[in-house]
Amino acid sequence: MAAQNNAPLPDGLEIAGYRIVKKIASGGFSIVYLASDEDGNAVAIKEYLPSSLALRQQGELVPAISNENLPIYRIGLKCFFEEGRALARISHPNVVSVINFFRANETVYMVMAYESGRSLQEHILRRRDKGEKPLVSERFIRRMFNQVMNGLREVHTNKLLHLDLKPANIYLRLDGTPILLDFGAARQTLKTDIPKLYPMYTPGFAAPELYLKNGNLGPWTDIYSIGASIFACMVGAPPQPSDQRKTSDKMEGHYRKLEGLYSTELIEVVRWCLQLDPLERPQSVFALQKALAIQAQPQRELTFMEKITLKFKTLIGSAKRKKVESDHTTIQESTLN
Ligand SMILES: Nc1ncnc2c1ncn2[C@@H]1O[C@H](COP(=O)(O)OP(=O)(O)O)[C@@H](O)[C@H]1O
Ligand SMILES: [Mg+2]
């Protein structure tokens, strides 16, 4: 079945003690609504409704699911529920807070604290449209991602992986504090058995092991996506998708273009996170946080004596290089003969 546009629940609908105010977002997997609870507090309600499996017509509440899709739909439902249950155990200022769950309309609803702000993706796009240079400041990147990683550490401590980290799933509160949204762990469970729900990952943000059937997933998998998200803040676009990089890696050229706009240290952190081999990446979020905390060395004005010494060293160096080059030429020539 091709992906369809499902009709959202109508504004004003009363459901399990909540009142739907309006639809905020809809993706291929769910619809998110702004709603209010019995005390009038704003909440965000996420409704499980994978558009490739279930069709809800305008004016209906219960989606139609074909017999063929029903088993997969049910597995997805269970995973969505499990994901939320695991999330509900986590209480951290940088992780979205899950308040409640309920079943209705033959699907599942996850109730979260409503956060006002916008996604990091929107933030990047707005700045790109305004032509800001650098796109997102290094200071903001360092501070914000450090907080994102505080949340991610908590997630990993709870034996969960996010697996769908990208700027669209990092939400910025009005004061700039980031929170992690949208945990894709459930979808990962689905991916292994069910190809229909597979193409959930956004190319460019997904680590290469996520493309494999039995890839070795771990904190390093989320760390790849953190690197990709930092890269997206610097460039305004995701990195080259990891499956393409395996055959023709163009990332070095992209890193070079960032020189001068961002510190060498920060570019180095991104390069480390985006290693294709999981073992060559930071192995824990803490290790990455430590690396991100190393600030760029400020450029100091050289003293007169230092300038003279540097000039002298450069001269000696260039003389030596010339000698090596000429030796090299001789060797090549002799090899040719
Ligand atoms: N707790 C929340 N508070 C406010 N907005 C939210 C909340 N959760 C989700 N949203 C909004 O809904 C969008 C989609 O949510 P997300 O959980 O990423 O679902 P999807 O699976 O559709 O990508 C977010 O980008 C954000 O704009
Ligand atoms: Mg999302």
Whole-number Å distance, alpha carbon 25 to ligand 1 midpoint, is: 7
Measure the CA–CA gap between 229 and 234, rounded to whole angstroms: 9
pLDDT tens series, the chain, 337 aa: 445 589 999 999 999 999 999 999 998 889 999 999 999 999 999 999 999 899 999 999 999 999 999 999 998 898 888 778 878 889 999 999 999 999 999 999 999 999 999 999 999 999 999 999 889 999 999 999 999 999 999 999 988 888 889 999 999 999 999 999 987 654 554 444 444 444 456 789 999 998 888 889 999 999 999 999 999 999 999 999 999 999 999 999 999 999 999 999 999 999 999 999 999 999 999 999 999 998 766 655 556 676 666 566 556 544 544 443 333 332 222 222 2
pLDDT of residue 329: 30
Q: Which residue among 182, 188, 190 is best mutated to probe the pocket of ligand 1, counting the most ligand atoms within 8 A of its Cβ?
A: 182
> 302 phi and psi, to 5 degrees?
-75, 150
Give yes or no for residue 99 CB within 6 A of ligand 1: no
Fill in the amino acid letter for 185: A
Res 315: pLDDT: 60
pLDDT in tens, 257-315: 999 999 999 999 999 999 999 999 999 999 999 999 987 666 555 566 766 665 665 56
3-state secondary structure 181-229: CCCCHHHHHHHHHCHHHCCCCCCCCCCHHHHCCCCCCCHHHHHHHHHHH
Q: Which of 20, 95, 181, 188 to mutate to test the pocket of ligand 1 (most atoms within 8 A of CB)?
A: 181
CB distance 45 to 37 below 8 Å: no
Could you tell me which of 146, 127, 308 has the C-alpha nearest to residue 234? 127
Residues 141, 266: contact at Cβ < 8 Å?
yes
Residues with a beta carbon under 5 angstroms from ion ligand 2: 169, 182
Burial (CB count within 10 angstroms: exposed 0-12, middle 13-18, buried 19+), residue 144: buried
Q: What is the pTM of this model?
A: 0.83
Pocket flag, ligand 1, residue 267 (CB < 6 Å): no
Opening angle at CA 109, ends 5 and 165, nearest 5: 75
Residue whose structure tokens are 């943000």: 205
Q: Does residue 169 have its Cβ closer than 6 Å to ligand 1?
A: yes
pLDDT of residue 184: 61
Predicted local confidence at residue 337, as pLDDT: 23
Nearest-atom index, ligand 1, CA of 114? 3
Amino acid 213: pLDDT: 82
Rounded to whole angstroms, the Cα distance separating 95 from 170 reads 9
- Looking at residue 236, its pLDDT comes to 94
Quick one: pLDDT at residue 87? 84
User: Taking a C-beta distance cutoff of 8 angstroms, is the pair 160, 185 a contact?
Assistant: yes
- Nearest-CA residue for ligand 1 atom 22 is 27
Give me the pLDDT at residue 266, please: 97
